[in-house]
Amino acid sequence: MTFTFFKRSNSLRTGLLITAIAPVLCIAQNSASSENSETRSFTVSQTTVKINVDGELDETIWSEAPTIGNLVQQQPNPGTAPTERTEVTLLYDSNNLYIGVKAYDSEPDKVIGTQMERDASLSSDDHLEIVLDTFRDQRNAFYFATNPSGAFVDGLAFGNEELNTDWNAIWDVRTKRTDFGWVAEIAIPFKSLNFPANESEWGFNISRNVYRKLEESRWSGARLETDFLQIAEAGKITNLNGLNQGIGLDIRPFIAASWLNSKTSNDDGFDAEPGLDFSYNVTSSIKLTGTINTDFGETEVDARQINLSRFSLFFPEKRSFFLEDAGVFAFASTGPNSPGGVPSARADVYPFFSRRIGLVNGQEVPINVGLKGTGKAGNTDFGLLYAGTDNTSFVDSKEFIVARVKQNLFEQSYVGGIFTDGNPALGMEGETYGVDARLATSDFLGTDKNFVVNAYGTKSDNGGFSDNDQSYGISAHYPNDSYVGELVYRVIEKDFNPALGFVQRKNVRMYRAGASYNPRPKNLWGIQQMFHDIFYTQFERLDNGHIESTELHITPLDYHFQSGDAIHALIDYDRTYERLFEPFQISPGVILMPGEYHNNRFKTTIATARKRRMTAFVNASYGDFWSGSAEQISTTITYKLPPKFNFSIAANQTFAHLPEGDFIARIITSNIDFAVSPFLSFTNLLQYDNRSDNLGWQSRVRWTLQPGRDLFFVFNQGWIQDPMGGFRFNAQDTKVSTKFQYTFRF
């Protein structure tokens, strides 16, 4: 593999990157030389009996067919029998895969199921998780999950530990509480999946979580070092013959309407337009997804952020068209993900960031058409995306192209390339090129441990002439249960500007090193696991060689208790250094002058167990802050009336005391959610920040008449705080949107 686009002076750097990862390539190859002899296997029974998905498991075939075998405890006591028995039965007919689960519980009145909203987080509930690796490529899988309240959660798993739950499939699940625990009955249509037509063997895994015991049990890969989303650790199911995919065509027409009453513009009025989303399995391995006259009116608004740093804030993608098969376009220039509680380096590089399409400076640009082709050819994954946007008052119509290819190696590794064409800015053009490699194993040196090396190189071309328009780097990550290690080297040149990408900071060279020691003591104060971290990050300026910033983070005490409560930090210590080369306005009217700033800060974080009806999370930090001092307090209070009602209120506040001027940065957020059933939910998000003095309310209703047929109703209202302050607010924009979509499946 060569980085052919680098200029001659960078050839040595490229060679060093490839030389550095070559030994790991050999290790990964050796560890993948033979299939794990402990891989579990099960032959799925075929049925001709009509299965009524009602959560009863009362058809005779459910009791006659064999179960997949006992699950094995993954934590807290790996390799042992679970404290609660689980029976899993798999059946299939020509149209569906059926999964029946009897989740026995010695205290059925203590089974926890607090969520019913679509794609809700089930981490504080008892729940089941399922992955289907239909191509058995050990990298990508379809993900399904549910809880005792019958929540629908689905997504796409990729990269061995990443999950996109904004992908929605057509499937069905019903659950029922019983005197022995609870039951789940699931039907997954084969038309909702992609799989090779002539293969009868899939990767499969299932996990059961009993939250009050913090206990997880799995069918395969029940080791502390193994994440459930490490698809390479899944078992396999066989005998899947004669499956009906139809012609592989889903057509989803929709009608979207909106009414706007604006106090800040002349855009008042009513608008209603039809549109169309579709997907077509060109072959069993290649999928074409399209959208015409796209509408994203049902998308949740972004979470408010106040930027107290010099660098750009990251807002995640939430639009369904761009999220589907997003894993194909993922690039090795992000991460590695540090342990929870450890500050990120804030220097990820995204050569393709889909929010650059259809959004310019926070304003929506209509997308006329979008096409995306994704698939596999042997061991090669590929993706091709095209989007065309409309003319607006602030930007001309534009066309964008993104191409991605990955050549899979061994069990969990790949080498790949990416290309983007297009620039959303007015009158601008741009291209970005990149290559990357991921070398990963879950059997590092024969020790059943995880080890990952990522390397990448990218170049941007926006029509100018520059020798400083590249970014490249390499990282090594040892992400395991008791020990975590991380080494990262990254360069981001000053003119590197991927037109369809995202970069937080430029003109820097980054070094990062860190380690965590996380023992699980036996019978010590009810502690489940202890975490101890030390991480150091340094940024150097490329233009003058000066150090721009450093951060030393130490976590001496982070205790997670068997009750679910946690002292995430008692005396976390951060020593930072910042050098300003030009004035920086940190808050309106508060300007920091060029110079050096040394800070010492301390942090305390406490969280109560989420199994309780009322829970709390408190994070308080104090100490030096730039030229003065500051207290930063983040608090979240959550109250549940399971499974229908969830209420939370969060406040994130900074009280800064600087010679240049004092200021307060405050964000207040509240979620009020009510679910009538898994098919009808009402969500409300209220947000206020004192930087914009804006109070916003979004209310969303989602009614699933039946899988694939959805009605959305969204109400947005904004207010601006009166200059006199207090609780006086003046109404601004009011918008009401509705959307109905109906899926025809062939």
Q: What span, in angstroms and rounded, lies between the C-alpha atoms of 90 and 46?
A: 9
Q: What percent of the chain has pLDDT over 90?
A: 72
| Greater model confidence, 164 or 55 | 55
pLDDT category at 4 given cuts 50, 70, 90 is very low
Lowest mean pLDDT among 14-23, 198-207, 547-556: 14-23
Burial class (CB in 10 A: 0-12, 13-18, 19+), 270: exposed
DSSP tag of 31? H
Tokens of 742: 């109906």
- In the numeric block, the tokens 């008042």 are attached to 268
Average pLDDT of the chain, as a whole number: 90
- In the numeric block, the tokens 């059997």 are attached to 443
pLDDT (0 to 100) of residue 245: 85
Ramachandran class of 114: left when φ > 0, alpha when ψ lies in -120 to 50, beta otherwise:
alpha
Largest CA distance in the chain: 78
DSSP tag of 67? B
For residue 377, is pLDDT > 50? yes
pLDDT category at 11 given cuts 50, 70, 90 is very low
pLDDT category at 646 given cuts 50, 70, 90 is very high
For residue 521, is pLDDT > 70? yes
Which long-range contacts does 188-192 make (Cβ < 8 Å, 24+ apart)? 188/96, 188/97, 188/98, 188/99, 188/132, 188/142, 188/144, 189/95, 189/96, 190/94, 190/95, 190/96, 190/97, 190/243, 190/244, 190/245, 191/95, 191/244, 191/245, 191/246, 191/248, 191/250, 191/745
pLDDT tens, 181-190? 999 999 999 9
In this structure, the number of other CB atoms found within 10 A of the CB of residue 47 comes to 18
pLDDT category at 160 given cuts 50, 70, 90 is low
For residue 337, is pLDDT > 50? yes
DSSP tag of 543? T
Are 39 and 184 in contact by the 8 Å Cβ rule? The answer is no
pLDDT (0 to 100) of residue 669: 97
For residue 27, is pLDDT > 70? no
- DSSP assignment string, 433-462: EEEEEEEEESSGGGSS--EEEEEEEEEEES
Q: What span, in angstroms and rounded, lies between the C-alpha atoms of 24 and 18?
A: 10
Q: Which amino acid is at 109?
A: D
Q: What span, in angstroms and rounded, lies between the C-alpha atoms of 500 and 745?
A: 34
pTM of full prediction above 0.75: yes
Q: Which amino acid is at 90?
A: L
Q: For residue 729, what are the β-bridge partners?
A: 721
For residue 8, is pLDDT > 70? no
pLDDT (0 to 100) of residue 318: 80
Q: Which amino acid is at 504?
A: Q
**Distant-in-sequence, close-in-space partners of 55: CB < 8 Å, separation ≥ 6:** 150, 174, 175, 176, 183, 184, 185
Q: What span, in angstroms and rounded, lies between the C-alpha atoms of 116 and 99?
A: 20
pLDDT (0 to 100) of residue 22: 46
Lowest mean pLDDT among 34-38, 282-286, 312-316: 34-38
pLDDT (0 to 100) of residue 411: 83
pLDDT category at 18 given cuts 50, 70, 90 is very low
pLDDT (0 to 100) of residue 319: 81
Element (H, E) at 733: strand 729-742
Are 314 and 327 in contact by the 8 Å Cβ rule? The answer is no
Lowest mean pLDDT among 22-31, 131-140, 467-476, 515-524: 22-31
pLDDT (0 to 100) of residue 218: 97
Provide the 3-class DSSP secondary structure of residue 58.
coil
Q: Which of 324, 128, 272, 143 is nearest to 210 (CA)?
A: 128
pLDDT (0 to 100) of residue 324: 79
Q: Which of 194, 238, 180, 201 is nearest to 45 (CA)?
A: 238
Are 95 and 240 in contact by the 8 Å Cβ rule? The answer is no
pLDDT (0 to 100) of residue 91: 97
Describe the chain by its helix, strand, coil percentages, rounded to 5.
5, 50, 40
pLDDT tens, 93-118? 999 999 999 999 999 999 999 999 99
Which domains can be identified in the chain, with CATH numbers?
32-238 (2.60.40.1190)
End-to-end CA distance of the chain: 42
pLDDT tens, 531-586? 999 999 999 999 999 999 999 999 999 999 999 999 999 899 999 999 999 999 99
Lowest mean pLDDT among 315-319, 470-474, 669-673, 740-744: 315-319
pLDDT tens, 40-89? 999 999 999 999 999 999 999 999 999 999 999 999 999 999 999 999 99
Q: What span, in angstroms and rounded, lies between the C-alpha atoms of 328 and 290?
A: 16
pLDDT (0 to 100) of residue 590: 96
For residue 445, is pLDDT > 60? yes
CA angle 109, 114, 118 (to 5 degrees): 140
Exposure letters 364-378 (e unless 16+ CB within 10 A, then b): ebebebbbbbbbbee
Q: What span, in angstroms and rounded, lies between the C-alpha atoms of 45 and 59?
A: 14
For residue 30, is pLDDT > 50? no
pLDDT (0 to 100) of residue 432: 96
- DSSP assignment string, 712-723: EEEEEEEEEE-T
pLDDT (0 to 100) of residue 38: 65
For residue 20, is pLDDT > 60? no
Q: Which amino acid is at 261?
A: N
- DSSP assignment string, 669-700: EEEEEEEEETTEEEEEEEEEETTTTEEEEEEE
pLDDT tens, 448-499? 899 999 999 999 998 777 789 999 999 999 999 999 999 999 999 999 999 9
pLDDT (0 to 100) of residue 159: 72
- Number of residues that make up the chain: 746
Phi, psi of 208 (to 5 degrees): -120, 130
pLDDT category at 24 given cuts 50, 70, 90 is very low
Q: Which of 193, 62, 56 is nearest to 135 (CA)?
A: 193
Sign of CA dihedral 591, 594, 595, 600: positive
Q: Which of 283, 286, 298 is nearest to 325 (CA)?
A: 286
Tokens of 541: 């300026």
- DSSP assignment string, 128-164: EEEEEETT--SS-EEEEEE-TT---EEEEEETTTEEE
pLDDT (0 to 100) of residue 394: 84
Q: What span, in angstroms and rounded, lies between the C-alpha atoms of 253 and 278?
A: 8
pLDDT (0 to 100) of residue 538: 98
Tokens of 125: 């509930």
| Greater model confidence, 284 or 713 | 713
Tokens of 553: 């983070």
CA angle 328, 334, 337 (to 5 degrees): 110
Lowest mean pLDDT among 21-30, 384-393, 610-619, 632-641: 21-30
Distances (CA, A) of 641 to 115, 179, 377, 661, 672: 10, 22, 49, 44, 12
pLDDT category at 16 given cuts 50, 70, 90 is very low
pLDDT (0 to 100) of residue 421: 96
For residue 39, is pLDDT > 60? yes
| Greater model confidence, 206 or 522 | 206
Peptide bond connecting 253 to the previous residue in cis, omega within 30 degrees of 0: no
For residue 512, is pLDDT > 70? yes
Q: What span, in angstroms and rounded, lies between the C-alpha atoms of 585 and 571?
A: 30
What is the average per-residue pLDDT within 389-405?
Answer: 92
Lowest mean pLDDT among 24-28, 29-33, 296-300, 490-494: 29-33
Q: What span, in angstroms and rounded, lies between the C-alpha atoms of 247 and 692?
A: 51
Q: What span, in angstroms and rounded, lies between the C-alpha atoms of 15 and 2?
A: 8
